[in-house]
Structure 1
């Protein structure tokens, strides 16, 4: 035989299961829980108030039951969206099979605690790099369509559309109206953000609200919303309009605007200002071009006024005169040199003529050579070289005479003896 509830043959009845679960939960002690009220149902004929406590950072909630007097005497006025800390004991109602916390004490979450929580989230996201300036997407100069997430018929919507249209009349808007405070604000804003991000016509998304208290701006410091903004492929502009305490989404967004009006001014160029800028740039460029032309014209005038360009042949003419003078000087020097050399050659020629053998022969001298039987003639230098019968060759000034030696002659002294 199996234990009750352990087999289909021996099941437990519903009452047994519900009773055992209620007894097990009843053994749990009281617990302090922090969250945001999303529902508050007060029935006139009931002394019990039913509420729902939501976790702002996750899609989870708990049902609460609370005495009406405890709600009436709460330290803050309870409404949907109020952040509270409650002390409750877990209860399981066997009749409906539902779980809830029976509230015994309610405390308000102070501003300091809210700011501390926001600061913890800010440090966490900063450590993950969601605030890195290098991740910021550039805002297009002239967006065709602006995605706008804001409250319905709000002043923020009016400011953005009016200012943007006044600056650039052709701009278009894709508006998504959501609630911008309270427990349901984050899911609606995230849904609108995803819809605009997937729209290819939207070039930039503006998240706008006209400021408010720290409690009112809690949705814009929600971790889910901040991560959704960081995941967007379209540039996001945060225009919450709350200067003293910036919500965390200001740091995650690609551009933070001080107010919705400032957001419109920063994402849409002013047509009049751009036209004035274009006119000014055209005037400046024309003025710069004229000045450049004037400078170049003045430079050309200076170049043309220089002697080398005004009289380009003057230098050549001056050089021509120099060349003529140099040629005349060169010719004169060459002529003088030739005359001097000619005179020198004449003197040398006269001396050579005077000292040469032809002149000597002309004065009556002769050159006597012996003519051997073989070999070349040789000059007769001694009488011993011309014995009797020696063939002689006598050269005089006007020719050559052949002779035969008769031998040496005896001197006059020897003949007288």
Structure 2
């Protein structure tokens, strides 16, 4: 009997007494409610309990909520059922995908609102290839949690390696693909080849010492681990934990070139570079000499153009500088400065002459004022100045006495006189008008 049908067999093994009673006791006059019938069927079905079945996942609908839906099909017959499970069940099972064969713990149930038969899945265990995938997924998560896949730890490959270590099967297509494509790109490339088993239980035992040997070789700048395509079981050595840790600890950059584009062993995650195929690895570990020569010629051409453009620019600037008047006739600037100096000197002389003339007129005016107020001018007008024997000016009759000896200063000389009498009086007192050149006594 197909495994999925075991559920129905268990359901049918339930005593049918109640079913018979229900059928015999019903009539048009004595009916049962539909809800009662659905609940009765639900009760009978759920008495089956949980049962392990082997089936193939043909459809998986992951949703944002906790409840997930999947469709299971019998591995031998065209019988399928719909099952539900919690998100945690799928996460714990590892990578469950459509087409995978699994062992599932199912519990049949009936939806009360629709009467539809369904199955609740409480545990899923991948079997066959699915089981291997689940194991690899758990190993991947463990190593990732340790930080072995951190992209910041990946080292860049050297531009032109002195030597390339190659670990692959003897006389394999992978070996030929890597060497041929690398040699086509860079004919002088040098390989250090270590042939090992690349599948089977003893593959890792040979790959590990080969990796250590190449890592210790100072002439090897990069190591390529290559193998052609194969089944999941064939590629298991390249997901081995010991190999993953050895690659992580290697001081030399490691390139993973395992299988085809769709193959993803754990080695791809820890390697410094993942090549999709061995052919791709041969193209990525060395530069293309033709491309490099073309790039060199292009760079040389750009440099020449840049230098020529710079020289042309500088020559234009130099010609522009040489065409300026100061460069054509350097003395022109001196002539202009000399003209400015002469004009400034002329303005300075003119300003000086005007200042001297103004000051000369001021001096003449002051001299005339001083001369007009001097005693000599008074004397020149016919007046005389009296002074006593001590030289003091006599400006009043009270300043002298009879018989005093006075000096009379005139414009042309001095007279010595004696005071005969003193007659006090004001200007209103009639006196004889003095004549020019006469002496007052």
TM-score of the pair, normalised by structure 2: 0.63
The answer for unaligned runs of 5 or more in structure 2 is 1-125, 432-441
Matched residue, 1:144:
162
| Distance in 1 (alpha carbons) for counterparts of 2:355 and 2:190 | 104
Matched residue, 2:13:
none
| Structure 2 counterparts to residues 62-73 of structure 1, below 5 A | none
Structure 1 position 302, deviation (Å): 2.6
Q: Equivalent residue of 2:201, what SS?
A: coil
| Distance in 1 (alpha carbons) for counterparts of 2:362 and 2:430 | 51
Change (3 A) 1:272 1:344: same
| Distance in 2 (alpha carbons) for counterparts of 1:404 and 1:364 | 21
Residue 383 (structure 1) aligned with residue 397 (structure 2): yes
Match of 2:204 among 174, 179, 186: 186
1:386–1:407 CA contact under 8 A, matched in 2: no
1:241–1:257 CA contact under 8 A, matched in 2: no
Change (3 A) 1:299 1:413: closer
What is the Cα-based RMSD across aligned positions, in Å? Answer: 2.6
The answer for unaligned runs of 5 or more in structure 1 is 1-107
Change (3 A) 1:129 1:413: closer
Deviation sequence 1:27-68 (CA, Å, 0-9, x none): xxxxxxxxxxxxxxxxxxxxxxxxxxxxxxxxxxxxxxxxxx
Q: Equivalent residue of 2:287, what SS?
A: coil
| Distance in 1 (alpha carbons) for counterparts of 2:370 and 2:212 | 127
Change (3 A) 1:334 1:147: same
Matched residue, 2:289:
271
Matched residue, 1:238:
256
| Distance in 2 (alpha carbons) for counterparts of 1:194 and 1:356 | 129
Matched residue, 1:397:
411
Structure 1 position 326, deviation (Å): 3.8
Matched residue, 1:331:
349
Match of 1:406 among 399, 405, 420: 420
Deviation sequence 1:384-410 (CA, Å, 0-9, x none): 221023232332234444443333259
Q: Aligned pair count?
A: 303
Matched residue, 2:236:
218
| Distance in 1 (alpha carbons) for counterparts of 2:223 and 2:300 | 34
Structure 1 position 319, deviation (Å): 4.5
1:358–1:397 CA contact under 8 A, matched in 2: yes
| Distance in 1 (alpha carbons) for counterparts of 2:166 and 2:430 | 164
| Distance in 2 (alpha carbons) for counterparts of 1:235 and 1:351 | 114
Structure 1 position 354, deviation (Å): 4.0
Structure 1 position 299, deviation (Å): 2.1
Matched residue, 1:124:
142
